[in-house]
Amino acid sequence: DFLFFWGAVFLVTTTLVAFLKKENQELIPAKEETKGITDTYRLLFSIIKMPAVLTFCLLILTSKIGFSAADAVTGLKLVEEGVPKEHLALLAVPMVPLQIILPLVISKYTAGPQPLNTFYKAMPYRLLLGLEFAFLVWWAPKVKHEGGFPIYYYAVVVLSYALHQITLYSMYVAIMAFNAKVSDPLIGGTYMTLLNTVSNLGGNWPSTVALWLVDPLTVKECAGAQGHTCATAAATEV
């Protein structure tokens, strides 16, 4: 029902925008200097070959490695420690207003000549919150009782997640502002799409690697199986 309702809202609002919103003809920028798919990819390669863009891509592809494990694995580990999935899902609800307000607030600080300053300032705090998430996973079995988890544990989880959202959106809005600022207006769509795609890839590939490394890096104890470490999936199954 939830998905059906918001799907209907999405369709109605998008249709209204399509039919009722008109472009301002006086402010249309010059047409992009591309004629088709081939020209667009040639343009992309010419952009990527620029030294400044290459350096930026290298930085943005590696900048999120430090908190990839905390972002990707924390929720799964909390579920593994006994926190109900439905409770974790409910804890995300209070974050919705925060996620709406944060970009509006942060955009005031990224509108200046150096939007990446916000990105740099938020990074150490986000790294520290990775340690906080590790503490939450370690703490979970300590406070668990027969009825589940105490209210104060969920309060700490919500507070930690809220602080994490502030750092996450600070970095996200800053990088979007920077991409918009440096993109050439004549090829703005192509330029921004390229930079935003690299930014998204920089967040996704470390999380994928972190998930893949969970099993090899997890220390397991085998009950009643002397001399076995249960390091592999097959050994754990046995």
Those residues whose C-beta lies under 8 Å from the C-beta of residue 75, and which sit 6 or more positions away, are: 88
**pLDDT tens profile 21-45:** 887 776 555 555 556 778 778 888 8
Torsion of the alpha carbons at 75, 78, 82 and 88, rounded to the nearest 10: -50
pTM, two decimals, is 0.76
How far, in Å, CA of 112 to CA of 9, rounded?
35
- Please state, in angstroms and rounded to a whole number, the distance separating the CA atoms of residues 2 and 163: 27
Q: Is residue 226 predicted with pLDDT exceeding 80? A: no
DSSP 104-158: HHHHHHHSSS-THHHHHHHHHHHHHHHHHHHHHHHHHHHH-BTTB--HHHHHHHH
Are 200 and 56 a contacting pair, CB within 8 Å? no
The per-residue pLDDT for 110 is 85
Residue 50 scores a pLDDT above 80: yes
pLDDT at 131: 94
- pLDDT at position 29 is 55
| Cα torsion angle, 134, 136, 137, 139, sign | positive
Which spans in the chain are helix H? 2-20, 37-48, 51-62, 68-80, 85-91, 95-110, 116-143, 151-182, 188-217, 233-237
Most confident of 127-136, 141-150, 212-221: 127-136
Provide the 10 A C-beta neighbour count for residue 109.
Answer: 15
Asked whether the beta carbons of 178 and 115 are under 8 A apart, the reply is yes
Task: Give pLDDT tens digits for 62-121.
Answer: 999 999 999 999 999 999 888 899 988 888 888 889 888 988 889 888 888 888 899 999
Q: At what angle do helices 116-143 and 95-110 cross, to 10 degrees?
A: 150
The pLDDT, as a whole number, for residue 224 is 74
pLDDT tens digit sequence for 163-185: 999 999 999 999 989 988 888 77
Are 67 and 127 contacting, i.e. CB atoms less than 8 angstroms apart? Answer: yes
Residue 55 clears pLDDT 70, i.e. is over it: yes
Calculate the CA 73 to chain-centre distance.
Answer: 13
Q: State the angle between helix axes of 116-143 and 68-80 in degrees (0 to 180), rounded to the nearest 10.
A: 20
Q: Percent of the chain scored above 90 by pLDDT? A: 47
CB burial class (10 A; 0-12, 13-18, 19+) of residue 46?
Answer: exposed
pLDDT of 31 reads: 56
pLDDT at 13 over 80: yes
Average per-residue pLDDT for the chain: 86
8 Å CB contact between 69 and 130: yes
Q: What is the mean pLDDT of residues 188-199?
A: 84
Residue with the larger pLDDT of the pair 216 and 198: 198
Instruction: Give CA–CA dist 95/98, Å, rounded.
Output: 5
